[in-house]
Structure 1
Amino acid sequence: MKKSIMVPAVLIIAAMFASIAFAADATKIGVINFEKILQESSPGKVMQKELKAKRDQLQGKFQAEGKKFEDMNAALEREALVLSAEKKLERQRELRDKADDLKKMNADYTQEMQILQNKRINQIQKDIFDITNKIGTAKGYILIIEKNRAGVIYAADKVDITDEVIKEYNSIYAKKK
């Protein structure tokens, strides 16, 4: 009796494992690395150049204002002995106002750069999602995840489709230009 129950049970279990093994071949999972796409794709490189140009422009303005502040401070130090107490207080107040203006300018520029960077990254991310959906549908992937944000600890190189996404993104970008 035990043999008659054991044989079908073993066959059922073997059939379950066999179906899982066959299903594993059909399961396609892909991984992309968004940071790599930002660094190596044409749109990512253009974004980096734009951000660097804007950062340099804002830094130039900030440094020019910083130079004015330093000049005002140096002038006050030179003339401190010959200025009346009232004029000295007025110049010190001007310096404090200028320092406050510099702090506000720095905060504004930082915020402006952050907004610009987020805007560009969000656009690239939207484009990458569209491309990834297209590739996933065309090639039968059941899942494509972003390597860094998804918390992937290990992914085999054969499931990494980042280079394919970059290639497709570059070709779409070249057609738009």
Structure 2
Amino acid sequence: MKRLFLGFSALIAFLAFSSNAFAFKVAVVDLNKALQNCQAGIDAKSILQKIIDAKKTVIDNKQKELNDLAQKIQNTSTNKKDKQQLELEYQTKLRDLERYKADATDDVVSKEREYTQNIINGLVETVKNISQKDGIDLVFEVHQGLVYWNDALDITSQVIKEYNKIYEQSKK
């Protein structure tokens, strides 16, 4: 009987110890929400919009030039030789416009990717720092296949707050 009691006690102690050994502190973070709502993300969006607006102005001006050339070409008072010259100029400017549009799109996409990657890297580093400070063992990104989580586990607002502090200090 004494052996059975000792064995049972050992089993209970093992289960109690092993359940503590496997207890994890878990959190979730929405990096997309953090990217959109942190000051660096807001600033990046503003910078990108200014770049887009400037490129759109150039495109609009080039398009206006093309429209003016098209009107000159269609004008019945324009002689044949001048029309040929205007058509060549039109084709050249049209190719330039198409090239500019493609380059502008590539430039904006490249800058957006660069800003996004830099901010995401900073947010991930912030998540790591918060996790180490708060003793969090696992952090899941909510868009990576999670179906349910308790809102109490969400550290997104804490990540945004901490990252904003780091971002503001880096601007000084």
- TM norm structure 2: 0.83
Q: 1:83 aligns with which of 67, 73, 79?
A: 79
Question: What is aligned with 2:36?
Answer: 39
CA distance in structure 2 between the partners assigned to 1:169 and 1:78 by the alignment: 61
Taking structure 1 as reference, are residues 82 and 135 closer, same or farther at Cα in structure 2, changes over 3 Å only?
closer
CA distance in structure 2 between the partners assigned to 1:98 and 1:129 by the alignment: 46
- Are 1:168 and 2:162 an aligned pair? yes
Report the secondary structure of 1:153's partner residue.
coil
CA distance in structure 2 between the partners assigned to 1:100 and 1:82 by the alignment: 23
- Are 1:152 and 2:146 an aligned pair? yes
Q: Following superposition of structure 1 onto structure 2, how do residues 18-167 of structure 1 map, counting pairs within 5 Å?
A: 22=20, 26-79=23-76, 82-84=78-80, 86-148=81-143, 150-167=144-161
Question: What is aligned with 2:4?
Answer: none
How much does 1:91 deviate? 1.9
The C-alpha deviation readout for 1:81-113, integer Å capped at 9, x for no partner, is: 5412x4323322221222111111100000000
How much does 1:121 deviate? 0.9
The C-alpha deviation readout for 1:9-59, integer Å capped at 9, x for no partner, is: 9x96x88876675556x3122211122112211111111111111111111
Report the secondary structure of 2:100's partner residue.
helix
Structure 2: segments with no counterpart, 5+ residues: 1-6
How much does 1:133 deviate? 0.9
Q: Is contact 2:72–2:78 with CA below 8 Å preserved after alignment?
A: no
How much does 1:146 deviate? 2.0
CA distance in structure 1 between the partners assigned to 2:82 and 2:130 by the alignment: 71
Structure 1: segments with no counterpart, 5+ residues: 1-7
Report the secondary structure of 1:145's partner residue.
strand
Q: Which moved more, 1:91-100 or 1:69-78?
A: 91-100
The one-letter amino acid paired with 2:56 is Q
Report the secondary structure of 2:149's partner residue.
coil
Q: Share of identical aligned residues, percent? A: 26
The C-alpha deviation readout for 1:110-152, integer Å capped at 9, x for no partner, is: 000011111111111111121111111111222213222x222
- CA RMSD, Structure 1 to Structure 2 (Å): 2.5
CA distance in structure 1 between the partners assigned to 2:88 and 2:159 by the alignment: 57
